[in-house]
């Protein structure tokens, strides 16, 4: 059964049919979301996406595939996630991802300064990039991640986000410039 028919069934009152859409698009959507938010928060954002899609199901027009419409909602939820995080700039130790926690725990308590430097250098690039990306505006981060880290075409990003091509270019350029400024400033020290 195609997605448009399932949507019509749900809108006609068969709300249990929505599970077919969740099952059909859940894995792909979770994969997309996990590239845009911390992995430990991806399931939460995916749930919010499906909830929002259910609430707005009557706005789906079947002019494009349902999966495409759903991805647009997911990307907006990812941007909302970063906006909310930017409002609460505080990072608590328990909010660190599993990779950061594993790295911290791998540092022996009696490590020599030289040993600690080696461990830090091994992890520094990823941590530094995560920090720098966290300094970007949510829309800039989203545009940069999609265009440069995932290698998606500008037109595809514009379509998925519902932005003009010019907006994607500007946001991506602005994000690259800010990253260059942030990282260049840190490397000059």
Q: Yes or no: say if 15 and 65 are a contact pair by the CB < 8 Å rule.
A: no
Residue range 129-155, pLDDT digits in tens? 777 788 888 888 888 888 888 888 888
**Distance (Å, whole) CA 134 – CA 158:** 22
Distance, in Å, from the CA atom of 31 to the CA atom of 46, rounded to the nearest integer, reads 10
pLDDT at 116 over 70: no
* Residues belonging to the chain: 189
**Distance in angstroms (rounded) separating the CA atoms of residues 78 and 70:** 12
**How open is the CA angle 20-21-27, to the nearest 5 degrees?**
105
Question: Which of 73, 46, 78, 42 has its CA nearest to residue 160?
Answer: 73
- Better-predicted residue by pLDDT, 67 or 90: 67
Topology of the domain covering 1-90:
Rna Polymerase Sigma Factor; Chain: A (1.10.1740)
What are the angstrom distances between the C-alpha of 25 and each of 32, 91, 116, 177? 11, 32, 44, 35
- Please determine, for residue 108, whether its predicted confidence score (pLDDT) is greater than 70: no
Q: Determine the Cα–Cα distance for residues 144 and 89; give it in Å rounded to an integer.
A: 20
Q: What is the pLDDT of residues 4-43, one digit of tens each?
A: 999 999 999 999 999 999 999 999 999 999 989 998 999 9
More confident residue, 146 or 187: 146
Domain ranges of the chain: 1-90
pTM above 0.75, yes or no: no
Confidence (pLDDT) at 111 = 46
pLDDT tens readout for residues 163-174: 899 998 999 898
């Amino acid at each position: 059964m195609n997605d448009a028919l399932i949507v019509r069934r749900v809108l006609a009152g068969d709300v249990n049919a929505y599970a077919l859409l969740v099952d059909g698009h859940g894995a792909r959507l979770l994969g997309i979301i996990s590239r845009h938010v911390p992995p430990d928060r991806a399931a939460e954002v995916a749930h919010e996406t499906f909830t929002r899609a259910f609430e707005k199901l009557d706005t789906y027009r079947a002019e494009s595939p349902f999966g495409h419409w759903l991805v647009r909602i997911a990307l907006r939820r990812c941007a909302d996630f970063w906006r909310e995080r930017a409002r609460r700039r505080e990072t608590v130790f328990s909010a660190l991802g599993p990779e950061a926690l594993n790295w911290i725990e791998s540092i022996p308590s009696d490590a020599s300064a030289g040993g600690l430097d080696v461990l830090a250098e091994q992890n520094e690039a990823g941590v530094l990039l995560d920090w720098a990306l966290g300094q970007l505006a949510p829309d800039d981060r989203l545009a940069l991640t999609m265009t440069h880290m995932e290698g998606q075409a500008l037109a595809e990003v514009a379509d998925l986000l519902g932005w003009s091509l010019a907006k994607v270019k500007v946001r991506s350029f602005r994000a690259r410039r800010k990253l260059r400024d942030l990282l260049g400033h840190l490397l000059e020290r």
